Amino acid sequence: MSGRACQVLEACDIVVGYKTYLELIKDVIKDKQTLATGMTREVDRVQAAIDAALGGHCCALVSGGDAGIYAMAGLVLEMLALKKIACNTGEQGGLWVEVVPGIPALAAGAALLGAPLTHDFAAVSLSDLLTPWEIIEKRLDAAAFADFVITIYNPKSKKRDWQLNRAMEIILKHRAGTTPVGIVTGAMRDNQKIVLCALKDLDKAEVGMQSIVIVGNSSTFIYNELMITPRGYSKKYEI
Amino acid sequence: MSGRACQVLEACDIVVGYKTYLELIKDVIKDKQTLATGMTREVDRVQAAIDAALGGHCCALVSGGDAGIYAMAGLVLEMLALKKIACNTGEQGGLWVEVVPGIPALAAGAALLGAPLTHDFAAVSLSDLLTPWEIIEKRLDAAAFADFVITIYNPKSKKRDWQLNRAMEIILKHRAGTTPVGIVTGAMRDNQKIVLCALKDLDKAEVGMQSIVIVGNSSTFIYNELMITPRGYSKKYEI
């Protein structure tokens, strides 16, 4: 957590969030008022935060990773826009919103794997709850074609069990079966698990709700169990 | 900066880095021994850090943003691999390397702009010092075609003055001229500057070495000077 995130949690009087995340920061928020909601209740959670803020409270809405990457900052601003609540303008009846950046899951996962994101990369979520699957396929295909390192968010859940295998097939059209893949589950948490495999074996790897999957580009290699995407220095300089 | 980054800087006895970055953290590293090198001396900097570590020192190498995203973690591991220095294996004569994740420029920039990265995105560096320009063009084209939000690293420098205009042309082949673009310069620093423009006007915007440029996807919109990429909740839920 950043210094700014700690300051903000210190300053607010209500903390809203998914219950698992509130549990993770219970030592930081101590006895502050909390409003916890379950998974997939994102709209309710944001509404609760907006209501608290409109009621004059200083309210923090907590996300895992970075609040702006596939997370709640977007829904907060989208709902304020839909409801035409003025935001950061100083108008009467409006709200002030600060988005506090954090360490995204892709950065935490990459750090645990070594340095797979040293070159151009794409982030794709496999969740087709809010995005048509054809768009997700199109993005996977384009990212694989152009040799992006690919970070896969929401690779699998109990209900969404075939999407990752299909993603593997699409990427394999453009990339070698031996391409290194890193899977980080529960990054920086007690259940943290790091697994490396070849792209062709991704369908056999253990992947879950808390996993992020990073597929290397055509230059990515493994050294001492670390995943490394070179930037290109060794082509230009004597190392 | 994260709590872990502070801990590591506290624990080490030598800090290596680009001089501007060491200046930014001078209050944290106080009177520790530092080894500063200038820009484009990345290989020297990493060599200095490796030499210090092989000499028995606990050495921190500092990057701006996140050390693993277009930054020094990759070069450290690449040079250790090239030199066949064992890494994190516990072998005699080997080193222990920890990559400490941070807040990447794309997350800091996105937070200051609002929430442009709530959906799939690609990161592309326009620096053709180490990457052939044709590959960069191919990636920009693929990312624009597949409607990724595009975060552009290293958009411009004194010497590289035409690449951003060319990138604009490529993206305009697939995306409307009115697509919102956010430009954040010196994110979280004293010279911080935030500018919004339309994609078709990107060639007229002030962009420099310390800028990150975020080009919205086909759904990104502006509300109260905030850049928002919706995730898709309003299509599925009553908001």
Q: What is the CATH number of the domain that holds B115?
A: 3.30.950.10
The domain boundary, picked from A82, A97, A123, lies at: A82
Check CB contact under 8 Å for B147 and A129. no
Task: Using a CB–CB cutoff of 8 Å, tell me whether B36 touches chain A.
Answer: no
Task: Using a CB–CB cutoff of 8 Å, tell me whether A39 touches chain B.
Answer: no
pLDDT per residue, tens digit, chain B (239 aa), is: 899 999 999 999 999 999 889 999 999 999 899 998 877 788 999 999 999 999 999 999 999 899 999 999 999 999 999 999 999 999 988 999 999 999 999 999 999 999 999 999 999 999 999 999 999 999 999 999 999 999 999 999 999 999 999 999 999 999 999 999 999 999 999 999 999 999 999 999 999 999 999 999 999 999 999 999 999 888 878 77
Say whether both B116 and B75 belong to one domain.
no
Give me the CATH number covering residue A56: 3.40.1010.10
The verdict on residue B53 lying in a domain is: yes
- Cα–Cα distance, A58 to A56 (Å, whole number): 7
The verdict on residue A208 lying in a domain is: yes
Domain, as residue range, for B34: 3-82
Distances (CA, A) of A80 to A87, A185, B93, B114, B149: 7, 33, 57, 12, 22
The verdict on residue B12 lying in a domain is: yes
Say whether both B123 and B218 belong to one domain.
yes
Say whether both B182 and B216 belong to one domain.
yes
Task: Using a CB–CB cutoff of 8 Å, tell me whether A91 touches chain B.
Answer: no
For A184-193, A228-237, B148-157, which range has the lowest pLDDT when averaged over its residues?
A228-237
Say whether both B24 and B73 belong to one domain.
yes
**DSSP class per residue in B101-168:** ----HHHHHHHHHEETTSS-EEEEE---SSS-HHHHHHHHHHHHHTT-EEEEES---SS--SHHHHHH
pLDDT at A239 over 80: no
Say whether both B17 and B77 belong to one domain.
yes
Residues of A with CB below 8 A from B117's CB? 68-70, 74
Nearest to A107 among B101, B117, B236 (CB): B101
The verdict on residue B237 lying in a domain is: no
Say whether both A211 and A153 belong to one domain.
yes
| A212 CB-side CA count, 13 A | 25
- Cα–Cα distance, B239 to B237 (Å, whole number): 6
Task: Using a CB–CB cutoff of 8 Å, tell me whether A28 touches chain B.
Answer: no
Number of compact structural domains in chain B: 2
Check CB contact under 8 Å for B115 and A77. yes
- Alpha-carbon A74 to chain mean position: 13
Percent of chain A having pLDDT more than 90?
88
Distances (CA, A) of B78 to A114, B5, B47, B65: 10, 22, 11, 20
pLDDT at A233 over 90: no
Check CB contact under 8 Å for A115 and B73. yes
The verdict on residue B205 lying in a domain is: yes
Distance from CA of A33 to the nearest CA of B (A): 25
Distance from CA of B134 to the nearest CA of A (A): 11
Degrees, nearest 5: CA angle B60-B66-B67: 40
Nearest to A99 among B79, B111, B142 (CB): B111
Check CB contact under 8 Å for A230 and B78. yes
Task: Using a CB–CB cutoff of 8 Å, tell me whether A222 touches chain B.
Answer: no
Say whether both A8 and A66 belong to one domain.
yes
The domain boundary, picked from B19, B48, B82, lies at: B82
Check CB contact under 8 Å for B130 and A88. no
The verdict on residue A233 lying in a domain is: no
Check CB contact under 8 Å for B88 and A231. no
Task: Using a CB–CB cutoff of 8 Å, tell me whether A68 touches chain B.
Answer: yes
For A22-31, A133-142, B116-125, which range has the lowest pLDDT when averaged over its residues?
A22-31
Tell me which chain A residue has its CA closest to the CA of residue B236: A130
Residue with tokens 């995203």: B69
Check CB contact under 8 Å for B146 and A148. no
Say whether both A123 and A203 belong to one domain.
yes
pLDDT at A134 over 90: yes
Check CB contact under 8 Å for B114 and A121. no
User: What part of B 167-206 touches A (C-beta under 8 Å)?
Assistant: none
The pLDDT assigned to A40 comes to: 73
The verdict on residue B146 lying in a domain is: yes
Say whether both A116 and A211 belong to one domain.
yes
Say whether both B222 and B134 belong to one domain.
yes
Task: Using a CB–CB cutoff of 8 Å, tell me whether B133 touches chain A.
Answer: no
- Cα–Cα distance, A145 to A40 (Å, whole number): 33
The domain boundary, picked from A51, A82, A113, lies at: A82
Say whether both A170 and A206 belong to one domain.
yes
Q: Which of B43, B69, B97 to mutate to test the interface with A (most CBs of A within 10 A)?
A: B69
Distance from CA of B22 to the nearest CA of A (A): 18
ipTM for the complex shown: 0.96
The verdict on residue B87 lying in a domain is: no
Tokens of B51: 């030499």
Say whether both B135 and B66 belong to one domain.
no
- Cα–Cα distance, B22 to B37 (Å, whole number): 10
For A27-41, A105-119, A207-221, B198-212, which range has the lowest pLDDT when averaged over its residues?
A27-41
Tell me which chain B residue has its CA closest to the CA of residue A142: B142
- The band of A37, judged by pLDDT with boundaries at 50, 70 and 90, is confident
pLDDT at A236 over 90: no
Q: Is B77 helix (H, G, I), strand (E, B) or coil?
A: helix
